[in-house]
């Protein structure tokens, strides 16, 4: 589904991604872990072109998105994104946050978009907040709304960029539960995370990144129980 | 000669008409230049933050400086620096005595002054708007784009509404500054509020009362705008 070949990304002199080759299949839940500065977020952001790769190819469904001539907005309709800091639109209420893109981009009617929005709000358990503004919500609620907003575009894959890192500890679970449910339903996703328990339990595959490369990848349980690389062992010994 | 009474200064020979006409002229210049300034300001702000790099393909051939050259932004920067780097009086006099001469001599002072102050105000408004847009969280644009919204659509739906809300108080105060600044229009022969005081002085040999009166009128005008600005600010806070 997503094919990444020889991906490089530099910010000026600083080389952040140093050659990534991966293939992510439909229905996979990929957890990306690694020390800070290892390029996890940049890797994720390259996949919907929030960062433009310096070198290499990324294809989604056989369509090469790193091609200059591609319609970037069409790609982004297929690839949803959930951010660390939620990035809800503060001047729009929850319902408008969810319906904006379906109406403006997918050209849905307002009725259809609102029907879908209420369905998704039900799914994340926040139907009663439809007419609230984001500033009236807790962090956990905001992130669940952000997930519903991404889902409203019916993406084929959702990228989660540290979805629980900005949350108070007691709100982490409610967000992870929503993501877990999506995983069970078979939605393809990539999750950059520091929640090792989540990575171990929910992910079907684990990427361990260090210094701009995927150092080790495979079945999460195997890697957690028996890491092959020295660097992975060292990382686990520091955090587990 | 008997000392002239306060009322006589203004009522005799209907001298108050100078004040009224001057007031009308000041307000007209302010409104014309505010409209020009707002229009120019929006255009220049958008140019300055634009991502127009016509030579970016040359980067691969090693012309890094040329590849990073943005002609639209460059134009806006030159305009803004030129205007902000010279006194308004100088700009006004150059426009009236250097530009609007010869065939353009018969253009009314009102328009020349409106254009001069509009050009001047545009530079400040551009910086206000740019700061308002750049002051927004970068995540807002990213969230909008990641939902598949095009750049113009994201600007219209997400960025500009939030930016306007943030800069409205500053824009109103720029308008107040503009109103006061028009008092230099006498330099090119415009008969505004301040000039009308001079005329009354020359007819009555009384310098203090006309000037104080004009000062009080300016104070009342700016007071009205400040009052409205406070109401707007309070409303905005309420919706935050």
Q: pLDDT per residue over B118-159, tens digit each?
A: 999 999 999 999 999 999 999 999 999 999 999 899 989 999
Q: What is the pLDDT of residue B141?
A: 95
pTM of the model: 0.80
pLDDT, average across residues A153-161? 95
Report ipTM (2 d.p.). Answer: 0.91
The share of chain A scoring above pLDDT 70, in percent, equals: 100
Helix (H, G, I), strand (E, B) or coil at B202: helix
pLDDT at B115: 95
Tell me, yes or no, if B56 comes closer than 8 A to chain A by beta carbon.
no
When pLDDT is averaged across residues B98-123 and rounded to a whole number, the result is: 92
> pLDDT tens-digit profile of A18-76?
999 999 999 999 999 999 889 999 999 999 899 999 999 999 988 888 888 888 888 88
Give the count of alpha carbons within 13 A of A152, CB side only: 38
**What is the H or E stretch that residue B120 is in?**
helix B109-134
| Alpha-carbon gap: B123 to the closest alpha carbon of chain A (Å) | 28
Q: Which of A105, A135, A146 sits opposite B240 (nearest CB)?
A: A135
Round to whole Å and give the CA distance between A197 and A179: 13
What does the block give as tokens for A47? 């996949």
CA A62 from chain center: how many Å?
20
Picking from A88, A105, A146, the nearest residue to B149 by CB comes out as A105
Burial of residue B26, with CB atoms counted within 10 A of its CB: 0-12 exposed, 13-18 middle, 19 or more buried: buried
Q: Shortest CA distance to B142 belongs to which of A136, A168, A51? A: A51
- Are A152 and A176 within 8 A, CB to CB? no
Up-side HSE of residue A142: CA atoms within 13 Å toward CB?
A: 21
Question: What is the rounded CA–CA span in Å between residue A204 and residue A216?
Answer: 14
Query: What pLDDT digit, counting tens, does each position of A91-127 carry?
Result: 999 999 999 999 999 999 999 999 999 999 999 999 9
The C-alpha of B157 sits at a distance from chain A's nearest C-alpha, in angstroms, of 9
Cβ contact A139:A165 at 8 Å: no
Contact status, residue B25 vs residue B110, Cβ threshold 8 Å: yes
A-B contacts at Cβ under 8 angstroms? 61
Task: From chain B, pick out residues whose CB is under 8 angstroms from the CB of A91.
Answer: 161-162, 165
Where would I find the H helices in chain A?
40-47, 72-78, 94-104, 110-123, 139-151, 169-185, 196-202, 220-225, 230-239
Contact B137 A85 (CB under 8 A): yes
User: How big is the CA angle at A220 (ends A152 and A123), to the nearest 5 degrees?
Assistant: 25
């Amino acid at each position: 589904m997503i094919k990444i070949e020889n991906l490089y990304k530099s910010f000026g002199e600083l080389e952040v991604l140093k050659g990534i080759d991966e293939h992510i299949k439909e229905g996979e839940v990929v957890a990306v872990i690694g020390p800070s500065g290892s390029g996890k977020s940049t890797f994720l952001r390259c996949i919907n072109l929030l960062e433009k790769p310096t070198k290499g190819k990324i294809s989604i469904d056989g369509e090469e998105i790193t091609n200059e001539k591609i319609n970037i907005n069409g790609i982004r309709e297929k690839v949803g994104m959930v951010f660390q800091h939620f990035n809800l639109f503060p001047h729009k209420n929850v319902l408008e946050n969810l319906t904006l893109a379906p109406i403006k981009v997918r050209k849905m009617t307002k009725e259809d978009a609102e029907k879908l929005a209420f369905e998704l709000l039900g799914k994340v358990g926040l139907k009663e907040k439809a007419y609230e503004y984001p500033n009236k919500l807790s962090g956990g609620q905001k992130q669940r709304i952000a997930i519903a907003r991404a889902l409203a575009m019916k993406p084929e894959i959702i990228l989660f960029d540290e979805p629980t890192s900005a949350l108070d500890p007691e709100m982490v679970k409610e967000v992870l539960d929503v993501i877990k449910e999506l995983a069970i339903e078979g939605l393809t996703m990539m999750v950059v995370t520091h929640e090792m328990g989540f990575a171990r339990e929910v992910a079907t595959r684990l990427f361990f990144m260090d210094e701009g490369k995927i150092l080790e990848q495979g079945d999460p349980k195997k890697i957690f129980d028996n890491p092959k690389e020295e660097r992975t062992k060292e990382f686990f010994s520091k955090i587990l | 000669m008997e000392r002239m009474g306060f009322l006589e200064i203004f009522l005799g020979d209907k001298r108050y008409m100078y004040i009224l006409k001057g007031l009308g002229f000041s307000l007209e210049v302010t409104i014309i230049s505010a409209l020009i300034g707002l229009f120019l300001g929006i255009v220049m702000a958008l140019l300055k933050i634009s991502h127009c790099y016509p030579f970016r393909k040359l980067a691969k051939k090693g012309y890094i400086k040329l590849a990073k050259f943005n002609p639209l932004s460059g134009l806006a920067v030159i305009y803004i620096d030129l205007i902000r780097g010279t006194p308004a009086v100088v700009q006004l006099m150059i426009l009236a005595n250097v530009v609007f001469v010869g065939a353009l001599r018969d253009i009314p002072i009102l328009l020349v002054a409106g254009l001069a102050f509009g050009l001047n105000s545009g530079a400040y408004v551009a910086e206000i708007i740019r700061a308002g847009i750049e002051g927004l969280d970068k995540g807002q644009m990213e969230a909008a784009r990641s939902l598949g919204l095009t750049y113009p659509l994201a600007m219209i739906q997400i960025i500009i509404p939030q930016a306007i809300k943030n800069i409205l108080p500053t824009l109103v105060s720029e308008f107040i500054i503009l109103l006061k600044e028009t008092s230099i229009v006498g330099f090119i022969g415009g008969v505004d509020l301040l000039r009308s005081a001079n005329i009354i002085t020359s007819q009555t040999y009384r310098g203090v009362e006309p000037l104080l009166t004009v000062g009080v009128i300016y104070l009342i005008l700016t007071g009205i705008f400040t009052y409205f600005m406070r109401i707007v600010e309070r409303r905005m806070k309420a919706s935050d």
